Amino acid sequence: MSSTIKYKDYLGSVGYRAEDKVFFGKIEFINDLVTFEGTSVEKLETAFRESVDDYLDMCREIGKESEKAFKGTFNVRMQPELHKKAARLSTEKGINLNQLVVEAVSQYVRQAH
């Protein structure tokens, strides 16, 4: 089960508050905090689409980039034994550990889509 929804290449996280009987979420990977909610799946999806459209309109009006910029670097934490195996494999392949991780992530992303 996915806890995300998509619209216009934007991703929204989804949660549920049982005490209020409300679905809620936020638009992910943007430069601001934009939330949405609904009392049914249909209302949640409508609120998400409206939030994305409103956010994009606002960004256009003020000349702001809507999507969060990624630097291309991040820390990876893994079990020491997996780290050791990856380091050994990268040496055997004649590439550095960073290249091995990029290849692995690229392959995983290709298979997921």
Claim to verify: residue 84 and residue 57 sit in the same structural domain: no
pLDDT score, position 13 = 95
Claim to verify: residue 53 and residue 88 sit in the same structural domain: no
**Would you state the torsion angle of the CA atoms of residues 61, 64, 65, 70, taken in this order, to the nearest 10 degrees?**
-160
CATH number at residue 55: 3.30.160
pLDDT score, position 1 = 53
Q: What are phi and psi of 77, to 5 degrees?
A: -115, 135
Q: One digit per residue, pLDDT tens: the chain, 113 residues? A: 569 999 998 999 999 999 999 999 999 999 899 999 999 999 999 999 999 999 999 999 999 998 888 889 889 999 999 999 999 999 999 999 999 999 999 999 999 88
In a domain? residue 21: yes
pLDDT score, position 56 = 96
Q: How many structural domains are present in the chain?
A: 2
Helices and strands, counts by H and E, the chain = 3, 5
Residue type, 48: F
In a domain? residue 74: no
pLDDT score, position 68 = 87
Question: Domain residues for 41?
Answer: 4-62
